Structure 1
Amino acid sequence: MAKVSILGSTGTIGKNVAFTLARMDTVDEIVMFSRPQSLNRVKGETYDIYDALAARDIDCKLTPTCDFNEIRGSDIVLIAAGIHREPGMNRLDLAIPNAKIVQCYAKKVAEYSPDSIILVATNPVDVMTTIALESSGFDKMRVIGVGNHLDSLRLKNYFSRKVNINSSEVHTRVVGEHGNHMVPLLSSTSIGGIPLKYFHYPDLNVRALVEQLKNAGNTIISKKGATEYGPAFAISNLISMMITDSHKVLTVSCYLEGEVEGVENVSLGVPAVTSKKGIAMIVPVHMNDFEKKAFLDAAEVVRDTTDKVKKSLNI
């Protein structure tokens, strides 16, 4: 019996993850946790989701609550609570206020569901992954940030649409920070099994696609106010892969201790084997000189922000 708890379930991401995950029919129970003042709203969300599931004959228990006792026995606890990013706002601008929320919730998870996996979606996600890790006291393989999983899916989609080819034929990955210092691994990208540097297609402007990728979040927020479907599906996909013990390699934020390019004491997006126990293995990855420098720069930026946040929280 798989059980997933969502902390911050009335937010745009939280409620969409609940709906998307329930539709995947891989989880038996989803606990939708909210603050007491939002309990009626989260109850309304569950009623609405139940109506949708009825059309698909899906039986998934939805538990609206503001009681931490309800998260006991969770396989995965998603922390999706936090203030929202406004148009033009950098993810790093959210660091200190959101860190206070993540710190509080990570401690509660450690108290009420000590055997669970913590999955962090709150931005800036790489910084928040370290805050959740140190606040919970969990093993680092059980504290995971959504990281560059969404970025990797976006880049895959951009290439697919640009060259008019099925997305399953595109193999690409984005590492580093989930933000301005993301690093697309173009040196190992392939389309139809052909390395990108040998793939010739009219008007394929890779640099423009990378810029589109880096601005994707702000572009969507400026036009509709929030990102919801993309992040929700990426997070639900990640949860489903872990619940089903798929051992797929996904790009998630992990606390590094030298596994990739010797980077230490910071959480960054890297390829990792996901399993029902969390991260089974952090996968070493080859980068060219340009990518390696960008990855090291990302590590420095995220580490600096993380240190400032930890100092503000007295961690």
Structure 2
Amino acid sequence: MPQPNAADVKSIKIVIVGAGSVGVTTAYALLLDRLAADIVLIDIDKNRAMGEVMDLSHAAHFAQARVRVGDYEDCAHAAAVIITAGVNQKPGQTRLDLVKTNYALFRDVVPRIARHAPDTILVVATNPVDVLTHAAHHLSGFPLERVIGSGTAMDTTRFRHELGKHFGVNPRNVHAMIVGEHGDSQLPVWSLATICGMRLHDYCRAARMEHDEAALEACAKRTREAAYEIIRRKGKTNYGVASVLVSILQPIVTDSDAIMTVSRVGTYAGIQDVALSMPCKLNRHGAYQDVPLLLSELEEAELRESAQSIKEVLMSLEK
């Protein structure tokens, strides 16, 4: 991924709303990546945010970046504003269980961001991310391409990790994706998954491996349940999602047209005005779905079910 040059970095500001574990880990990952010169943390608990900034500033010494506590007026001229604020998922909860509390928070936060930074790109990480990406789009009034949910970018990373372990190859050499909801109705796109340019059936034949359908379904199941397992063990997820948020910001800052599975409002499998994840091209203007994904009939039906599940939650919020 191309890096911005020193002159560009001096003008790059990234704002993170929410100084919880995901927000702070994202700030730290940004520092290590040297992607911005000015990183602003906004949180209702300013004392906690200040403590985090004091700690982060010691790392910023090596990254030559400024980290500070701010308020919503500091969103002005930000290249991107990341929203991580909200109630965290607890053991036994689904992401959709969080919807009413975090939607109420977005009704307060998003218009304030939009007022001070009408030209920024919003990146939503708070769960349920698809529902809240839709909310952020409508509450901000921003164009579709400038409201991006982290979506299944994390799930796609986990999926490639699982498949890499199964096939004994580096996950970077696995080209496979999860689309749909960042949640229980997500779906792996088996029909387009490849290694070395070969579909998985063909790769197994060439590598003299068994094409074990049950083992592959187990990879998808572990992907879908990964967050639940991590939350059960440590109470939260933060490192993976922070790294994914930085990977979303990289093509925005560098204008590099990278393709990632992120959430965006649109029409999916005939279901209108929902947000879910499909491959999008990311650059300094936002996220664009330039090429439709060629899904199998079964996958198209599963995508429709995923979109419909999100639509039903959105409709419940309107009542």
* TM-score, length basis structure 2: 0.92
1:35-184 alignment, distance < 5 Å: 35=44, 38-54=45-61, 57-65=62-70, 67-184=71-188
Distance in 2, matches of 1:210 and 1:298, equals: 16
User: Can you list the C-alpha shifts for 1:97-144, whole angstroms capped at 9, x where unaligned?
Assistant: 100111211101111111101111110000001111111111111111
Cα offset, 1:203, TM superposition: 7.9
Indicate the SS of the match to 1:147: coil
**How many residue pairs end up in the alignment?**
303
Displacement after TM superposition at 1:53 (Å): 3.6
Q: CA deviation at 1:197?
A: 2.2
Q: CA RMSD in A?
A: 1.4
Larger deviation, residues 276-285 vs 183-192: 276-285
Whichever residue aligns with residue 65 of structure 2, its letter is C
Identity across matched positions, percent:
30
Distance 2:57 2:165 in 1: 34
Task: Report the Cα distance in structure 1 between the residues aligned to 2:287 and 2:257, rounded to whole angstroms.
Answer: 9
Residues 246-304 of structure 1: per-residue CA shift (max 9 Å, x gap): 101110111113xx534421111111100111114443101111111110001111011
How far residue 61 of structure 1 moved from its aligned partner, in angstroms, is 1.1
Is 1:307 the counterpart of 2:307? The answer is: no
| Counterpart contact for 2:201–2:211, Cα < 8 Å | no
Q: Match of 2:280, SS?
A: strand
Aligned counterpart in structure 1 of residue 198 of structure 2, from 191, 194, 203: 194
Q: CA deviation at 1:310?
A: 3.2
| Contact 1:79/1:102 (<8 A) preserved | no
> In structure 2, which of residues 279, 285, 296 is the aligned counterpart of residue 288 of structure 1?
296
Question: Quick one: distance in 1 between partners of 2:135 and 2:35?
Answer: 29
Q: Does residue 272 of the first structure (1) align with residue 277 of the second (2)?
A: no
- Could you tell me how far apart the structure 2 residues matched to 1:283 and 1:261 are? 14
1:185-214 deviation line (CA, Å, top 9, x unaligned): 011000122101222235851010011011
Task: Tell me which residue corresponds to 2:7.
Answer: none
- 2:258 is the alignment partner of 1:253: no
Residues of 2 paired with 1:110 and 1:31: CA distance? 16
Whether the 8 Å contact between 2:269 and 2:301 is mirrored in structure 1 is no
Given the superposition, is the C-alpha separation of residues 180 and 282 from structure 1 closer, same or farther in structure 2, using an over 3 Å criterion? farther
More off after superposition, 272-281 vs 16-25: 272-281
- CA drift at 1:162: 2.1
Partner of 1:228: 238
- The answer to whether the 8 A contact 1:4-1:29 is kept is yes
1:13 corresponds to: 22
Q: Does 1:27 align with 2:36?
A: yes
C-alpha distance in 2 between matches for 1:302 and 1:79: 20
Distance in 1 between the 2:127 and 2:192 partners? 28
- Kindly provide the amino acid, as one letter, of the partner of residue 218 in structure 2: A
- In structure 2, C-alpha distance between the alignment counterparts of 1:69 and 1:215, rounded to whole Å: 39
What is the TM-score when the length of structure 1 is the normalising length?
A: 0.93
C-alpha separation between the residues in 1 aligned to 2:144 and 2:288? Answer: 11
**What is the alpha-carbon distance in structure 2 between the residues aligned to residue 280 and residue 288 of structure 1?**
22
Query: Residue deviations 1:41-79, cap 9 Å, x none?
Result: 11121221222243xx311111212x2111111111111
